[in-house]
Amino acid sequence: MWHSEHLETNTIHGGKDGQGQHGPLSTPIYQTSTFVFDDVQQGASRFAGEAGGHIYSRLGNPTVDELEARMALLEGTEAAAAFGSGMGAVSAVVLGLLKQGDHLVTSHRLYGCTFALFNHQLPAFGIEVSFVDLADEAAVRAAIKPNTKVIYGETPINPCLSVADLDMLAGIAKAHGITTVIDNTFMSPVLQKPAKHGIDIVLHSATKFLNGHGDVVAGILCGPKDLIDQIKMTTRKDMGAIISPHDAWLIIRGLKTLHLRVERHCENALRVADYLQSHPLVKKVDYPGLPGHPGYKLLGKQMKAGGGVLAFELKASFDQAVTFMNALKMCKRAVSLGDAETLIQHPASMTHSTYTPEELSEAGIPQTLIRLAPGLEHVDDIIADIEQALGAAAKQATQAA
Ligand SMILES: *Cc1c(COP(=O)(O)O)cnc(C)c1O
């Protein structure tokens, strides 16, 4: 299988297995549910795992294989497994690695549905879960028990973009024979390669930067061949969160521009963060690319740049935050990230709207926190839209006074 030393080349050519029949430039979409055996013996040897070749698309598909080979190369792991959603990947990895009586150490802040899975579903299966601050080495060490099997984290983490030290987590885990899983969705392999720091399994919601065009929901796990094979042959095969060949193809297409897109997302995010910092209606900006952010010290060490997501808190009321959101003309009110369009959401009225004001403050989510994922538009247009919407929110305050 072909590969280069350079990520920019591998996003386009990496993991390709020859020209394929007819020599198509674009990867063929093998839109098929099943594969035909020449004879019983061939079918039998494929089922026995003695011969290569496909059986059924829930077990594997050539279009999906190419996506997996490319992602393994990009993350620097032996293998990868693609899923029908990021949450399909999260559930397959934790249910594949943990059983009743095992213990999971994870972050006190997580992607919302990952938190729901860990906080509600896993305990229902008799799996014990501890939620700690993964940026705090002493807290991580104190949480380890004899039955701890997995440490699962995200970095940077919603909503304040706090950053966990990957070398530290991998070091603690290795000393105790614990498997580590890191959700690398916010960074992509362009900015951060957790496996290089000793992390075992790297997870992505491919819905975000990897695809990058807002038209697919998908997930990926990258890791050592034995663990990935184990997950493919247990939780992915038997629980069935498989990706469709067409969706795999859309991500293969998206990956071709990943490095260019992520670079521009970072440039735009830094410019917007800088602008917001100096605005009188903005109380605080959370972006690891800004020198004041606690995660900034890991820039250059484990992450190349601050990424394409930032959060900011308004010096305003909840109603003014709503006015700001509604006044936006170009930026899209939507809960995703890593797309060409600038996406913006207000956690207190959207992703975290079921939280009471007390629960919000406990989770460190101010009423006026806004999460912004700058897109690929000209940065002046993004800033101009935010500026006019902040103006509308400020005017509301003057009127109320
Ligand atoms: C979106 C997201 C997920 C879930 O992925 P889906 O593709 O929506 O299932 C998991 N982790 C992070 C950090 C995400 O942003």
* 283-341: pLDDT as tens digits: 999 999 999 999 999 999 999 999 999 999 999 999 999 999 999 999 999 999 999 99
- The Cα 131–Cα 114 span in angstroms is 12
CB half-sphere exposure, 35, CA atoms < 13 A: 17
Q: Residue 303: beta bridge partners? A: 299
**Would the CB of 205 count as within 6 Å of ligand 1?**
yes
Cβ atoms within 10 Å, residue 103: 18
Whether 236 and 81 have beta carbons less than 8 Å apart is answered as: yes
- The Cα 70–Cα 204 span in angstroms is 14
- The Cα 66–Cα 290 span in angstroms is 37
- Can you give the pLDDT at residue 230? 97
Determine which residue's CA is closest to atom 7 belonging to ligand 1: 86
Residue 278 has pLDDT above 70, yes or no: yes
Please state the rounded mean pLDDT for residues 165-171.
Answer: 98
pLDDT digits (tens, 9 = 90+) for 94-139: 999 999 999 999 998 899 899 999 999 999 999 999 999 999 999 9
Whether 156 and 162 have beta carbons less than 8 Å apart is answered as: yes
- Can you give the pLDDT at residue 400? 67
> For residue 283, what are the CA distances in angstroms to 6, 277, 313?
41, 8, 5
- pLDDT band at residue 181, thresholds of 50, 70 and 90? very high
Determine which residue's CA is closest to atom 2 belonging to ligand 1: 205
**Would the CB of 249 count as within 6 Å of ligand 1?**
no
**Which residue out of 83, 87, 247, 372 has the highest number of ligand 1 atoms within 8 Å of its CB and is therefore the one to mutate?**
87
**Would the CB of 367 count as within 6 Å of ligand 1?**
no
Please state the rounded mean pLDDT for residues 377-381.
Answer: 98
pLDDT mean across residues, the chain: 95
Please state the rounded mean pLDDT for residues 79-101.
Answer: 98
Of 179, 228, 233, 217, residue with least CA distance to 83: 217
DSSP assignment of 243-281 equals PPHHHHHHHHHHHTTHHHHHHHHHHHHHHHHHHHHT-TT
pLDDT digits (tens, 9 = 90+) for 26-59: 999 999 999 999 999 999 999 998 988 999 999 9
For the chain, what is the total number of helices (H) and then of strands (E)?
Answer: 16, 12
Q: Residue 34: beta bridge partners? A: 56
Whether 245 and 63 have beta carbons less than 8 Å apart is answered as: yes
The conformation of residue 178, written as its DSSP 8-state character, comes to: -
Three-class SS state of 131: strand
- Can you give the pLDDT at residue 398? 74
Whether 203 and 94 have beta carbons less than 8 Å apart is answered as: no
In the CATH scheme, what architecture does the domain 259-400 have?
Alpha-Beta Complex (3.90)
- Can you give the pLDDT at residue 171? 98
- Can you give the pLDDT at residue 401? 62
Residue 255 has pLDDT above 80, yes or no: yes
**Would the CB of 86 count as within 6 Å of ligand 1?**
yes
Residue 65 has pLDDT above 80, yes or no: yes
Q: What percent of the chain has pLDDT over 90?
A: 87
Mean pLDDT check: name the lowest of 49-53, 170-174, 231-235, 301-305.
49-53
Angle at 273 between CA 267 and CA 275, to 5 degrees: 105
pTM of the model: 0.96
**Would the CB of 87 count as within 6 Å of ligand 1?**
yes
Q: Give the position, in ligand 1's atom list, of the atom nearest the Cα of 207.
A: 7
The correct answer on CATH 3.40.640.10 for the domain covering 7-30+61-255 is: yes
Q: Any idea where the domains of the chain sit in the sequence?
A: 7-30+61-255, 259-400
The pairs formed by 175-179 with CB atoms below 8 angstroms and a separation of 24 or more are: 176/144, 176/148, 178/105, 178/144, 178/148, 178/149, 178/150, 178/151, 179/97, 179/149, 179/150, 179/151, 179/227
Residue 88 has pLDDT above 90, yes or no: yes
